[in-house]
Structure 1
Amino acid sequence: MLSRPGPAGAIVDGVYAHASRPLPTPAAARLTAAIGRPDALPPPLLMLLGMLSTQVGAAVAKQLFGATSAGGTTALRLGLGALVLLVVVRPGLRLGWRAAGLVAAFGVAMAAMNLAFYAALDRVPLGVAVTVGFAGPLLVSLLGSRRIADVLWAVLAGAGVLLLAGLGGVGVDALGMALCGLIALGWAGYVLLGKALATRVPGTRGLALGMTAGALCVLPFGVATAGVELLDPRVLALGLGVALLSSVLPYSAELAALRRMPAQVFAVLLSLEPAIAALVGTLLLGELLAWPQLAGVGCVVAAALGATLARRDEG
């Protein structure tokens, strides 16, 4: 997905640990050129556009399932996204053993997260998959805290996940929810490994190499489940659209926004992602969530906002 989780600590120090360091100038210039002139737009608008792009990309990916499989969609998304980043970033391949191991582990986490995400989308609404996945690193961050307030936010997020899982009496696909649990675990691992990778391989070099490793991991699944359909021009075009919408464009827009706004404001806006996913699922896919599910989304968003704002007040 390359979506982003959690409260401020998990967001800025985790997935976006690599984004808190400036891109090398040539790479920054290429990414900026790829999305027009992001600095001409207000940072909050860039953030919203980035999140909207991510979720629209997921909606487009769901349309691919009629022509290929979830594994094929994952292979196209990571493979084409990795190709774009390799061209833009041009990362060197010389790494120490520890850095190479982190790149490989990061790629495996990315592959597992994306495979689970697209497989889940075949069974549950977009808003449910994103919200449960979002709750994974959020809960990891909050449960690692010794503050009572953070424990309460974790309980609220957990209640939201239970509502999404059918606590409110809404029928859910059991396998789909199990896959959502795998998304949450993969997303949490992606955050933790992304933070470690950023210290070893700064800038976007680690992201480009990690996505390449992830693409290699999912390629056998894509070939096994989709075969030659992956080479169909229409499927390739849609796959490129998914890669751009879900990876390149949101990453570029949000990186530009992060450079021009406080990290806490960035985190507050990012907490709205599950709500945006639910909205996109409703408008583009016709996925109307039941009231208990909407309440679940609201609980997770409120927990992320509450934890973020509480840390800002303490700072």
Structure 2
Amino acid sequence: MSSSSNTRRFTRAATIRAMVLVLIGSLGMQFSAVIVVGLFPAFGVLGTSSVRMLVAAVILLLIFRPRLRGRSRREWAGIVLYGVAMAAMNAFLYLAFDRLPLGVATTIDFLGPCLVALLASRRAREGALALVALLGVALIAGFGGALDPLGLVFAALAGAAFGLYTLLAASVGQSEGGLPSVALSVTIAAVLTLPFSVPTLPLIRAEHLVPLVASALLGTALAFTVDTIAGRLTSARVLGVFFAFDPVVGTILGAVFLGQLLTPLALTGVVLIVAAGAGIVWFSGGHGPAADPPLTDSEHPA
């Protein structure tokens, strides 16, 4: 069998594994949101999000025990930026969750990876898909029911951070640091949000521990870890396509567990944005060897 066919088979299998991992991360993130919404009255939105990040950082540091020495300046820059993206994405997304239905917030959040892909492309079809996505936003924000304007702003800011997160998940995942680097990035995010987590710690009671730990494990430790592993298996373009799971899962869980039923027009907007975003990210990357995940030395054909 030819070496090129071996490479294609490896790429296909790796892409399927990446898809499954992102789906697992999406389920963890959205289930986490369902769990912690009940903690908002006790800790506030930012307090809940930041304490969750702090718990996740402790868990990941204990598991991976990352080394601090021997890392290049470029590697540290990626770790820090990844942590900044995590902190911003979580804070703004949880602020959006407090004001918007889960499906709406995660749909607008998904525009981040779409925008990254759109800026990297110069083709008419990506522009057309961007217009479809904007129509989806209009249906959600204008005709899909009365929605909180500040919540829409928070969701858009979360989307900007999500775009950076998408790029860095692939970059950090394919670096030599791997999962220990993820632990350091989550620690950076936890440090950045200490002004919100520290005042919240004295408010924690025994009945809060289970939902906090479960949320930290599902929505932060698990989600960030599997996203980074997926980034090691495929490109940022394909990863962005798979992040379309987020608004779909968020919409379903919001309806099932939180009673957040959307109007037909708003639900149409969700579908349009997911479809357009997936198309933008997919077409912007091309379909050639450059889009394939890099092979390690042991995986190069002889």
TM-score under structure 2 length normalisation:
0.78
**C-alpha contact 1:143 1:150 (8 A) present in aligned 2:** no
Aligned equivalents of 1:160 and 1:51: distance in 2? 21
The alpha-carbon deviation at position 190 of structure 1 amounts to 2.4
The alpha-carbon deviation at position 129 of structure 1 amounts to 1.1
**C-alpha contact 1:61 1:73 (8 A) present in aligned 2:** yes
Does residue 51 (structure 1) correspond to residue 26 (structure 2)? The answer is yes
Gaps of 5+ in 2: 1-13, 289-302
Which shows bigger deviation, 273-282 or 303-312? 303-312
The corresponding residue for 2:131 is: 155
Does residue 287 (structure 1) correspond to residue 263 (structure 2)? The answer is no
202 and 161 in structure 1: CA distance in 2 versus 1, 3 angstrom threshold: farther
The corresponding residue for 2:298 is: none
The corresponding residue for 1:183 is: 158
The alpha-carbon deviation at position 44 of structure 1 amounts to 6.3
248 and 201 in structure 1: CA distance in 2 versus 1, 3 angstrom threshold: same
**C-alpha contact 1:142 1:153 (8 A) present in aligned 2:** no
Aligned equivalents of 2:206 and 2:194: distance in 1? 18
The corresponding residue for 1:241 is: 214
Name the aligned partner's letter for residue 103 of structure 2.
G
Return the index of the structure with the highest Cα Rg. 2
The alpha-carbon deviation at position 185 of structure 1 amounts to 1.5
Which shows bigger deviation, 114-123 or 135-144? 135-144
**C-alpha contact 1:143 1:151 (8 A) present in aligned 2:** no
The corresponding residue for 1:72 is: 47
Does residue 301 (structure 1) correspond to residue 291 (structure 2)? The answer is no
Does residue 88 (structure 1) correspond to residue 56 (structure 2)? The answer is no
Aligned equivalents of 1:267 and 1:108: distance in 2? 19
Alpha-carbon displacement from aligned partner over 1:133-165 (angstroms, at most 9, x marks no partner): 111121221232012112222222222223222
**C-alpha contact 1:76 1:240 (8 A) present in aligned 2:** no
190 and 43 in structure 1: CA distance in 2 versus 1, 3 angstrom threshold: closer
143 and 219 in structure 1: CA distance in 2 versus 1, 3 angstrom threshold: same
Aligned equivalents of 1:263 and 1:97: distance in 2? 22
Aligned equivalents of 2:116 and 2:235: distance in 1? 23
Aligned equivalents of 1:129 and 1:142: distance in 2? 21
The alpha-carbon deviation at position 305 of structure 1 amounts to 3.3
The alpha-carbon deviation at position 237 of structure 1 amounts to 2.2
**C-alpha contact 1:170 1:290 (8 A) present in aligned 2:** yes
The corresponding residue for 1:134 is: 110
Aligned equivalents of 2:239 and 2:157: distance in 1? 26
249 and 198 in structure 1: CA distance in 2 versus 1, 3 angstrom threshold: closer
Classify the secondary structure of the residue corresponding to 2:78.
Answer: helix
Alpha-carbon displacement from aligned partner over 1:216-254 (angstroms, at most 9, x marks no partner): 111212334x3511x322223211100111133345666
Classify the secondary structure of the residue corresponding to 2:221.
Answer: helix
Aligned equivalents of 2:235 and 2:185: distance in 1? 27
Aligned equivalents of 2:25 and 2:164: distance in 1? 22
The alpha-carbon deviation at position 267 of structure 1 amounts to 6.1
Aligned equivalents of 1:125 and 1:73: distance in 2? 18
Aligned equivalents of 1:238 and 1:99: distance in 2? 34
Which shows bigger deviation, 99-108 or 85-94? 99-108
**C-alpha contact 2:87 2:192 (8 A) present in aligned 1:** yes
Match runs of 1:149-298 below 5 Å:
149-166=125-142, 168=143, 170-198=145-173, 202-224=177-199, 226=200, 228-229=202-203, 231-250=204-223, 269-298=242-271
**C-alpha contact 1:107 1:214 (8 A) present in aligned 2:** yes
Aligned equivalents of 1:251 and 1:233: distance in 2? 26
Aligned equivalents of 1:265 and 1:196: distance in 2? 13
Which residue, out of 97, 104, 123, partners 1:121? 97
Classify the secondary structure of the residue corresponding to 2:158.
Answer: helix
Name the aligned partner's letter for residue 127 of structure 2.
V
**C-alpha contact 1:76 1:236 (8 A) present in aligned 2:** no
Classify the secondary structure of the residue corresponding to 1:141.
Answer: helix
Aligned equivalents of 2:248 and 2:287: distance in 1? 26
Name the aligned partner's letter for residue 52 of structure 1.
L
**C-alpha contact 1:62 1:122 (8 A) present in aligned 2:** yes
Aligned equivalents of 1:263 and 1:90: distance in 2? 27
Aligned equivalents of 1:157 and 1:174: distance in 2? 18
Q: Please, what is the CA RMSD of the aligned residues?
A: 3.2
The alpha-carbon deviation at position 191 of structure 1 amounts to 2.9
Aligned equivalents of 1:314 and 1:165: distance in 2? 34
